[in-house]
Amino acid sequence: MWHVTRKVISGFTTVLLFTLLVVTLFAVISSQAADGEPNIFGYELKTVLSGSMEPEIQTGSMIAIEPTENPTQFEQGDVITFTNPDDNLVTHRVHEVENDGEQYITKGDNNNSTDSEPVIAENIVGEYTGVTVPFVGYAFVFATSEQGAVLLLILPGVLLLAYSAFTIWRGLRQIEPSKKKEESVSPPRQE
């Protein structure tokens, strides 16, 4: 019974380490290819680094944004992602629509007042889809940093190699006693 359990645990550990390595490799490569933010099925994934939209969107979350082709289509209440005058991405709710959608007054749900600058339609990146994954943004920011990318690519690889070496060593240890047993059981050679 213990032998079967050990085999299952061993197989599970190998699959887990290999999966971790592949997923990490995919995440790091896709984020580097997309200049820091990956795309999945046409949706852009963005990391939320402030609490201006809490409680709906928590700090450290990763959100899905649907890129827009018509930035004048938004209405009051829509949540949009845009580039602000400091060239940072911001996700806030449309508070007012001005000039037939050529500019918007926005406000973070957790802020007391509207944003100081109106958002020009051409600065809108996309619309928030309602998909939020809490806390993943923290991990993604770390993974896309230089130190994080190195650590997350090297660590699973080293763990997989160490586990493979341990498995080989254990297998060789099991072979040695059976060889000694064979030698002691076999009759002496006559010359």
User: Quick one: pLDDT at residue 49?
Assistant: 85
User: Quick one: pLDDT at residue 191?
Assistant: 56
User: Quick one: pLDDT at residue 43?
Assistant: 84
The residue range of the domain holding 143 is 1-33+138-171
Active site residue 50: yes
Give the CATH number, domain containing residue 70: 2.10.109.10
Residue 180 belongs to some domain of the structure:
no
Amino acid found at 13:
T
User: Quick one: pLDDT at residue 42?
Assistant: 77
Looking at the structure, do residues 17 and 49 belong to the same domain, yes or no? no
The conformational region for residue 79 under phi > 0 = left, psi -120 to 50 = alpha, else beta, is: beta
Looking at the structure, do residues 48 and 21 belong to the same domain, yes or no? no
d(CA 68, CA 78): 13
User: Quick one: pLDDT at residue 36?
Assistant: 53
pLDDT in tens, 22-71: 776 666 666 656 555 566 777 888 888 888 998 888 888 888 999 998 99
Looking at the structure, do residues 53 and 66 belong to the same domain, yes or no? yes
Looking at the structure, do residues 17 and 98 belong to the same domain, yes or no? no
User: Quick one: pLDDT at residue 92?
Assistant: 94
Looking at the structure, do residues 16 and 104 belong to the same domain, yes or no? no
Looking at the structure, do residues 126 and 51 belong to the same domain, yes or no? yes
d(CA 81, CA 4): 53
Active-site hit among 30, 31, 50, 184: 50
pLDDT under 50: residue ranges of the chain: none
Residue 186 belongs to some domain of the structure:
no
Looking at the structure, do residues 66 and 20 belong to the same domain, yes or no? no
Overall domain count for the chain: 2
User: Quick one: pLDDT at residue 24?
Assistant: 67
- In angstroms, how far is CA 34 from the centroid of its own chain? 13
